A and B are shown apart, each in its own frame.
Chain A
Amino acid sequence: MSSPTPPQDDGIHSESFLRTLMRRQLALSITCAGTFLVALIAMPLLNYFKPETMAIRVAGFTLSWLILGVLFFPFVWIISWMFIRRSIALEDDEVRAVKAGRKS
C-alpha cells in the first residue's frame, strides 16, 4: 500500500508483461476450474447414463447421494487449497522477476 511509485521504464508497463501476467493467471484459474467443472458436469451425466452404478448402496446412502451430499465439499476444499498455494507462489514469482529486472 505504502510502497513508493516505481519508475516508468522497468518493463512492467509493457504490453508483453501484461500479456504474460494475465495468461499465467488465467491458465492457473482455468486449470482449477476445469478440474471442478469436470466433476460437476460428470455427476448428472453419470446419473443419466449409469443409474444402476450410482444407486449402489454405501452405508445406506446411494452412491450419488453420498458423493453429492458429503464428498463434494472436501473435493472443492482441496481444489481451492491448491489454487491458493499456487497463486501466492505465482505472485511472489512475478514480484521477484520484476525486482530482478529493475536491478539489472
Chain B
Amino acid sequence: MAPLLSPLALLEGVDPWILAFSAITVAVTIWMGFRSARTSKTASDFFVAGRSVSVGWNASAISGEYLSAASFMGVAGMVMSSGYDALWYPVCYACGYLFLLLFIAGPLRRFGAYTIPDFAEGRYDSPVFRKIAVCFVLFIGFFYTMPQMKGAGTTLAYIFPGLPYWVGVVLVGAVITLNVALGGMKGITLVQAFQYWIKMFAISVPVFVLMAVFGFYGGQVGANATKETPPVSSEVQRLPLVEKAPRDEVWTAPFGPLTTKAVNAAAAALPVEQRAAYLAEYQKPYSLLYTYSLIIALVCGTAGLPHILVRFYTNPDGVAAKRTTMWVMILIGVFYVFPPVFGVIGRNLMPELYTGLAGIKGTDQVVLKLPTLLGAKFGVLGSILSGITCAGAFAAFMSTFSGLLVSMTGALAHDVYGRMLRPKSTPEERMKMFKWCAVLIGGIAVVLGSFVEPLEINFMVGQAFAIAAASYFPLLFMSVWWRGMTTKGAATGMLVGGLCALVGAALTNLATLALDKGPMGKVFASFKGMNDFWAQHPLLRILCEQPAIWSVPLAIALMVVVSKATSKQVPVDIRMKMLVLHAPEKLGLKQEYIQEHSAGAGH
C-alpha cells in the first residue's frame, strides 16, 4: 500500500492526455459552479435565472441534470455484460418522461409547488406529510449517489492504474462535498446545460470514430450469432470471447442473463438431471415477469424523481414548459442511442473486461477504455478520445452527485433542522447548518459508495427508480387525478410502498455483495444465507430484485382503501385545489387561490 500512495508512483502508467482532459473538466465545472454561485444566492434567484433563459437552454439543462453515471457508463457496461435485456434501461429512462409529461408535469406546474414536499404540504394542508416526503428525498438520494460513487471510483482507477477503488470514491466525494459546502454547484441552468453538451459530445464523437474504424452498429450486433441465424457480418473483426462472457445466442436474444439470473441460480442448486426440465418450465415465464417489473420501475420512477420535477418551474409559462419537455425527450433520446453501441463494440473487441466482472476492471469501464483501441492504428487519437470519454464521465457523476447533494442537504438543513428541530433559528445558523449537513451527507455517501464496487452502476440506479416508482409516483399521480385522497391515505400508501421497495432493493444488494470474492464478500458474509434461500425460491428473489410490479399497485391500493376509510378528512377546499391543478393558467385561478388561502388561514 505504502508505495502506491506516493505521488510519483501514482503517475506511473498514467496517460497524459486522459489526465489532462479529466483535470480540465473538473476544474471548469468547479470554476463555473463558484462563478455562478456568487451571482445567485437564493432559491428564488435560481428560478428567476431559469425563467430568463430560452427553451433550448432550459431543455439542455434538464437533460444535463438527468444524465448520470448510469446513463454515461452504466448502460454501456450493462449492454456488454447482459445484452438485449439491458436495452430496456435506456429506453425506459427516456420514455418515462412521457408519463411525466402526460400525467404530472402540467398540473404540478399550475399548482406552483416547487418541490414534492411543497406539493405534499399544499395539497393536504399537512406539515406531517412534508416529513415523510423528506425521508424519501434522503432514501432515493442515497440509492442514487451509490452508483455515482462507483462511477467515480471506476474512472479514477482507470486514469491512475493501481489506485484502489475506495481512494477514488473518497477523493471525488471529498472534492464535491467541499464544493457544495462552500456554496458552489447550485443547480445553475447554464452549468447544467453546458454539462449536457459535454456528455453528448463525449459519447457521440468516439462512437462515430469507433464505428468508422471497426464497423457500424448493425454490423457489430450482426457479428453475434442468434439461435436462428449464424453471424451475418463476417467482415467485422472479433476477438474470441472469454469463458465468463455470456454466449452469443443468450446475449442477442431477449430473456437473457440479466432477467434469468434467479432461475439459473435455482437450477444450479438442483441435481444435474433435473436442471433442463426446470429451466424449460420456469426460465422464460419468470424472465417475462422480471422484464415487466423492470419496465414499471423505470417508467413510473422517472415520473417520480424529485430533482427532475423541480426543473419544470424554470419556464416562463405552461406552453414553454411543454415545448421544453418535448426538447428534453429529443435530447435524451438521441443521447441514449449511443451508450449501447459501446457495449456492443466492447463485446467484440474487448472481451477481457468480462473477467473483471462488475468490479472496477469490469464492463462498467468499457466507455472509458474502448477508445484506446484506436491507439494501435492512429496513435495519439486513441488517448485523446479516451480522455474525452473520461471528461464526459466526470461531467456525468459530478453533476448528478452535486445535484443530489444539494437537494438532500437542503431537505436536511431546511426541512429537518429549520422547520422541525429549531424553527426559531436565524438565517446565519441555517447557513452554518447547511454546511455541516453537506459534510454529513457527503460522508455517508462516500462510505456507502465504497461498499458497492461489485455492483453494476446501472443496476443500482434502477433500484433508486424502483423506490421512487413505489413512493412518489403513486403520491403524485393519485393526488393530481383523484380528489378523494386524504392525508392518511396518501401517507400510508407512500410509506408502505416505498419502504417495501427499499427493503427489497437493499436485501438484493446485501446478498449480491455477500457473493463477492473480494473484501466485500467478507464484510457481508452473514447475508450469504439469503442466496441459498432464494435458490429455493427464485420467484421471491425476482420480486425482491425488481419490486415495482407489486409495490406500485400495493401503494395505490393502500391509498384508495385508507382514503375511503377516512373520507371525512378530504380537505374542505378540494374543489378549488383541483381547479388550480387542472384549469388553464390563463384563467388566473392560482392568484385567486393564494388570496383566498392566505385570507382564510390568517397569515
Interface residues of A (CB under 8 A from B): 1, 3-6, 12-13, 15, 18, 21-22, 25-26, 29, 32-33, 36, 40-41, 44, 47-48, 51-52, 54-55, 57-62, 64-66, 68-70, 72-74, 76-77, 79-81, 83-84, 87-88, 91-92, 94-95, 98
Bound-state CA distance A58–B222 (Å) is: 9
Q: Could you mark each residue 455-468 of chain B with 1 if its beta carbon is under 8 Å from any beta carbon of chain A, else 0?
A: 00000000000000
Contacting residue for B481 out of A26, A41, A84, CB 8 A: A26
Say whether B253 contacts A84, CB under 8 Å.
no
Say whether A22 contacts B481, CB under 8 Å.
yes
Say whether B102 contacts A73, CB under 8 Å.
no
Say whether A44 contacts B292, CB under 8 Å.
yes
B182 to chain A, nearest CB (A): 35
Say whether A69 contacts B337, CB under 8 Å.
yes
A36 to chain B, nearest CB (A): 6
Say whether A5 contacts B253, CB under 8 Å.
no
A85 to chain B, nearest CB (A): 9
Which residues of A have CB within 8 Å of B325? 80, 84
Say whether A18 contacts B578, CB under 8 Å.
yes
Say whether B102 contacts A76, CB under 8 Å.
no
Which of B315-323, B367-375, B421-429 is near enough to bind chain A? Answer: B315-323
B105 to chain A, nearest CB (A): 10
Contacting residue for A3 out of B90, B106, B253, B586, CB 8 A: B586
Q: Could you mark each residue 272-308 of chain B with 1 if its beta carbon is under 8 Å from any beta carbon of chain A, else 0?
A: 0000000000001000100110010001000000000
Say whether A4 contacts B222, CB under 8 Å.
no
Supply 22 A–B pairs (Cβ within 8 Å), ascending by A: A6-B588, A13-B579, A22-B481, A25-B106, A26-B481, A36-B98, A40-B95, A48-B284, A51-B227, A58-B218, A59-B222, A61-B218, A65-B87, A65-B221, A73-B94, A73-B334, A73-B336, A80-B97, A80-B101, A83-B101, A87-B106, A91-B584
Bound-state CA distance A70–B284 (Å) is: 25
Say whether B299 contacts A60, CB under 8 Å.
no
Known pairs A29-B103, A33-B98. 14 more at Cβ < 8 A? A5-B591, A12-B589, A55-B229, A60-B217, A62-B252, A64-B84, A69-B91, A70-B337, A74-B333, A80-B98, A83-B101, A84-B101, A88-B322, A94-B584
Which 5 residue pairs are nearest across A and B when measured between Cβ atoms? A60-B222, A60-B218, A3-B588, A73-B333, A47-B254
Q: Could you mark each residue 233-269 of chain B with 1 if its beta carbon is under 8 Å from any beta carbon of chain A, else 0?
A: 1000000000000000000111100000000000000
Q: Which residue of A lies closest to B576 (CB)?
A: A13
Residue B232 at the chain A interface, CB threshold 8 Å = yes
Bound-state CA distance A77–B333 (Å) is: 9
Bound-state CA distance A18–B579 (Å) is: 6
B400 to chain A, nearest CB (A): 22
Bound-state CA distance A44–B106 (Å) is: 30
Q: Which residue of A lies closest to B218 (CB)?
A: A60
Residue B220 at the chain A interface, CB threshold 8 Å = yes
A-side interface mostly = helix
Q: Which of B79-107 contact A (CB under 8 A)?
A: 84, 87-88, 90-91, 94-95, 97-99, 101-103, 106
Which residues of A have CB within 8 Å of B291? 44
Say whether B340 contacts A69, CB under 8 Å.
yes
Residue B582 at the chain A interface, CB threshold 8 Å = yes
Say whether B292 contacts A61, CB under 8 Å.
no
Say whether B582 contacts A22, CB under 8 Å.
yes
Say whether A51 contacts B333, CB under 8 Å.
no
Residue B326 at the chain A interface, CB threshold 8 Å = yes
A66 to chain B, nearest CB (A): 8
Check A79/B98 contact, CB under 8 A, given A6-B587, A48-B288, A87-B322: yes
Which residues of B have CB within 8 Å of A4? 588
Check A47/B575 contact, CB under 8 A, given A3-B588, A40-B295: no
Say whether A65 contacts B579, CB under 8 Å.
no
Say whether A33 contacts B578, CB under 8 Å.
no
Bound-state CA distance A84–B587 (Å) is: 19
Q: Which of B310-366 contact A (CB under 8 A)?
A: 318-319, 322-323, 325-326, 329-330, 333-334, 336-337, 340
Residue B595 at the chain A interface, CB threshold 8 Å = yes
Say whether B587 contacts A12, CB under 8 Å.
yes
Bound-state CA distance A5–B221 (Å) is: 61
Say whether B228 contacts A52, CB under 8 Å.
yes
Which residues of A have CB within 8 Å of B91? 68-69, 72-73
Residue B45 at the chain A interface, CB threshold 8 Å = no
Say whether B583 contacts A94, CB under 8 Å.
yes
